[in-house]
Each structure stands twice: as structure tokens, then as C-alpha cells.
Structure 1
Amino acid sequence: MIQKILFTLFLISSLNLNAKTIAKIPEASGIVYIAKTDMLIVVNDEGWIYKLTPKGDIKRKFFLGKYDLEGITYDTKNDKLLVAVEGKESILILNRASLELEREVKIKRKFDGVEILKKSKKTGLEAIAIDENGDIYVSNQSKKTYDKKLKENASVILKVGSLKKKKTKIKEVYNHGYIDIAGMTFHDGYLYMTSDKKNLLIKYDIKKNKTIKKIKLDKSAQEGICFDNDGHIYIADDNGAILQYKTRQLRI
């Protein structure tokens, strides 16, 4: 019993956090840090893209189009931005410098005969991340999980295939057991996820499909996450803010 209590205390950290608001951006839904330019790039639900400094100074505002942009990541190998679009369940490939659209790749909705990405106004793509090997992952946001059998519109992470063609397929499905995963990023070999409804930051080993640590965040609408090179974590808050934490605050 004592061992179980100690394990729970280790796994779930509830800290008294005071996030710093560095910028106000309406319906901020995704964020990524670009080390080569020392800039943050933020997307929102209305199709806008923002470039800002780590201190929060907005340098550019660009309207991409009528897209529900829900996540953004940076493909360092190809120097491209990858943006997840909800509803259409597609990935936009953008020019990193100009922010202009180059191509759109749709994700096939079925995996092993199950329509995971079912057309719905309540669920869909909410996050995107790319690992050090160039493998791309997206999150299907949902309030439903599955135990042993994959369900339609379950809250899962999907590994997708190549983006070279107009459509790509789902290659693998990861059942993490959480609902409403709306933000993802890779950092130091681990996948970090935010659960919007639960106000959680989750450190996850994608290779082992295992939770390493859970941290209870201050209440907000966490829909994007990234790290910079100076010990900061940034959260895109859909309520209209970019929040900054220090990694030592979160003990990660």
C-alpha cells in the first residue's frame, strides 16, 4: 500500500504554478519554437499564423485561409512547417520563411477497418508533432478512450505515413489512455502532451507506450506546447494567451 502511494506521488505532480502570459493571441491552438531563428510560431482556429519572439513581441501576423488550424510542428530536415487542420483531417505543408501554403495532404480516415477519424464537429485533429527521426504523429481529440478494442473517434495518437502524395495513411495507433489531447511536442526523446479538459502535462515514452510523469497545470485551455533552448515551456491557451513556464517549475 505504501509503495502504491509513493508511486502515485511520484507520477502525479501537483505544483503551485504561476504561468507568465507573454502575448495575447485569440484562439491560440498550436505553437512551435524555431531554434534557427529564435522565434515562436503560433496558429489559431481562424486560419491566422503569428510570428513572435520568446518574450512575446509579435513580429508578423499572416492569414493563411479559412482553416481550423489546430497544431503546428517544424520539420527541420526539410525546413517546412507542418500544420494540422481539424475537420478536413489534413496536414498543411508551409514554407517556413514566408508561411505560404505549398501542399495539403489528407489523412485516410480508416485503420484496420475502423474509421478512427470519423467526420464530426466534436472530434478531429488537435495536435501534430515530429520526432528526431522525422516520423509524424497527430492526435485525435476525443472524450472517449478505448481499453482493448479500437473505437471510432477514440482519443489516440496516430503515426502517419509519408507526406509526398496527396493522401497518407495511418501506420500505427497509440492508446495512451487520456482524453482530449490537444497539444504535443517531442523534447529530449520524449513526447509531451497536454490534456485540455484535465489540465495535464504528460511526459510520455512513445516507444514503450508508457506514461513517465503527469503534472497538473493551472486551469487553462492548453491546445499547444513547445520548448525553447533556454529552459522555457510555452503553452498556447485557446482562451487567448501564450503562457510561459520554466522547466524547473514543472520539475522536468
Structure 2
Amino acid sequence: MPDIHHIPLTDIDEHALPRDRDALDATSLSDLTLSIAAHGLRMPIEVFPATGPKPYGLISGFRRLKAHRELTLDTIPAFIRQPADIPSALAAMIEENEIRADITPWERAKIVLTAIDHGHFDTIDQALPRLYPTYDRNRISRLRAIAEVVQHFGDHALTDPRSLSQQKLTRIATALRAGVGDTMLVALQECSDKSPATQWSLLQAIIEDAEAEAKAPKLHYKPGRPRYHRRVQDDLTVRRERTKDGWTLRFTGRTAKGPLMEDIMDYVEDMFGRRQR
């Protein structure tokens, strides 16, 4: 067993590596802090020699280190690892968190993109086998698809992306590849209700439309069709949605008001020769 070192908290940089945990649960952190105060730390953290302003970078034990800082302790028990490079240190952090923490599919994919943004890898395909070496081909494929979702939606389009299950994220990824990514973003941006439930209902309608389109016999559309949404004016967007009974055309924007709807109803009635004069 490697030696345990008691390292000053001031010597540890917890941000030396990008973290795969987006948020800490306040209740579990409080419970951990009380446990450490009463019984001490049962499992040392892991650090590696760093070249930055602090001599050690944190590999695993982010919550344990934070709890020690909350308790204003001077040192923390730690194992000192010697990873071959930063990607190896990242892989070690991910491996430890896969066992100990409830990391969501969104967070798993996001750390891949964060590692690329930090310059540790050039592409998703290069990063995945290094960061998740125990994953088989199918798990790598699913994670790659989810990484594309994280890349497309970014940090602000979805209110709580961590709440999305792997199945939902995989369906979103399939819809992205069907070409409706912009339609999903427009739906999210132009909806005033930003609750996770409403956001998923918007995405689900678009996803089901794309899924049905993929299963349907190939139709002879004009070039550029089918169209899932159009921004017909700077302040008016039209988006189609499949429903259980047919279709809905949803109009959003500053000019999407009653008078415009009356004009559209006139146009529809004229189109079918049913307008009342």
C-alpha cells in the first residue's frame, strides 16, 4: 500500500484538472463534513505533483478536500500518485468517480469536451478511449452521441441537463443526426417556461416528428424539405410539431398575436376554398 502523506491544504490545487462533477449536493457534503469532524477521514484523497503555483493537483477527493476546507483544517491525508501525463490523471479521476459518485450521463460527456477545450485531446474520438478505457464499443458509441448533444446545446440552453436520462439524451442525439438540432434550440430559446419538464416536452415533440419521418416511406419532397421550423421574420418563427391526432404549427415571436392568427386563418380557408365571405 502506498504511503499516506499529510499535505497542507494550501498546497493542493483542486482545479488542476477539469472536474467531471458539475455540482455538489449540499446535504451530502454537510453529512460528509460532520462525519469527518466526528471520526476523521477514512479514505485519503489522491494528488499528483503539479507544475502550477501549488505543488500538488487533485485527482480524486474533491468533496473530501472541500469538507476539510470547511472545517478549516491545516492538512489532509493523501496518496501521491505519479500519472504519466495529464490525460492519465484525468482517467484516474474519472475511474474513481465512476465507483464512488453518481455521475450523470451529461457530466460524463461534458468532461470529454472540457478535456478537449483544455488542450489535452484534439477530438472526441481521441479522448474517449483514454478517459474511459474500460468502456466497450457500445458504451463508447453512446457516450460519443451524448457528447455531441452537450456540444450542440452548450451550458445555457437547458435548465437542468443533468436530469436527462441516458435514454433521453440518446434520443436527442439521434434527432440531432436527423438534422433538427436548430429546431430544438429555437424551441428552447423561444419558450418562456424554462422548467425541465416543459423543455423536455418541447424536445420530445420534435424528436417524435423526426423519428416518424425516418420510419415513413421516402416521400418526394421538393429540395430543402421537410421543414421543421422557419424564421419567417426577425420577430416571427413558425415551427411544426407532430401530435397524437395530426399536426400543430406553432408561431412564436413578438408579432405572434391575435391579428396575425386571423390573417393566417383567412389564408388557410382561402387555400381550401372554405372562407366565409
| TM-score bracket for the superposition, by shorter chain length | under 0.3
**More contact order relative to length (CA 8 Å, sep ≥ 6):** 1
| Structure with higher helix content | 2
- Provide the TM-score with structure 1 as the length reference: 0.25
Q: Name the larger-Rg structure.
A: 2
